[in-house]
Amino acid sequence: MDETLESGHSQVISAGIKKTGGFYSNSSVASEEDFTHLRQYVRGKFVEAGTEITNGKIDISPYKLKDKTPCAFCEYRSICQFDESMENNEYRQLSTESQSVILDKIREEAKRDE
C-alpha cells in the first residue's frame, strides 16, 4: 500500500521500517501466513453475516468497544430505530483482547478448517 516506503515511518499506513531493517515495534504488521488467515477469517465473517441476513436476521445490533460505538458517527442515526432505552435494544459489548490473543484464536480456527 505504501510503495515509496524504504525506511522511516509511512505517511500512508501504520508501519515503519528501520534503517537497519525490520519494522518498528509500533508497526501494525502481520506475517504473510497470518495475513492469509486474517483474510480468510474476514471473508468467513462476511459470508456468515450475508447468510444470516438472507435468512431473515436483521436485528439492529451495534457493538460497543469500551465506551465507543459506531452510532456516534453514523449517517443513519436519524432514521435508525436503535434506542438503548427500549427493551431488547442493547449494544453487543466486544471484548478487549490483545492482538496476539485474537491472532492465536484466528490461527486455531484456520487449523481446524484445514
15 makes contact with ligand SF4 (CB under 6 A): no
Of residues 46 and 112, the one with the C-beta less far from ligand SF4: 46
57 makes contact with ligand SF4 (CB under 6 A): no
Q: Tell me how far, at minimum, the Cβ of 62 lies from ligand SF4, in Å.
A: 4
Q: Tell me how far, at minimum, the Cβ of 87 lies from ligand SF4, in Å.
A: 16
Of residues 41 and 82, the one with the C-beta less far from ligand SF4: 82
Q: Considering only residues 59-88, where is the footprint of ligand SF4 by CB under 6 A?
A: 60, 62, 70-71, 74, 76-77, 80, 82
| DSSP of 71-104 | GGG-TTTTT----TTSTT---EEEP---HHHHHH
Backbone dihedral angles phi then psi of residue 77, each to the nearest 5 degrees:
-55, -40
13 makes contact with ligand SF4 (CB under 6 A): no
Q: Tell me how crowded residue 1 is: count the other CB atoms within 10 A of its CB.
A: 7
DSSP 68: B
DSSP 110: H
Cell readout for 52 is 444470516
Site residues (vs ligand SF4, CB under 6 A): 60, 62, 70-71, 74, 76-77, 80, 82
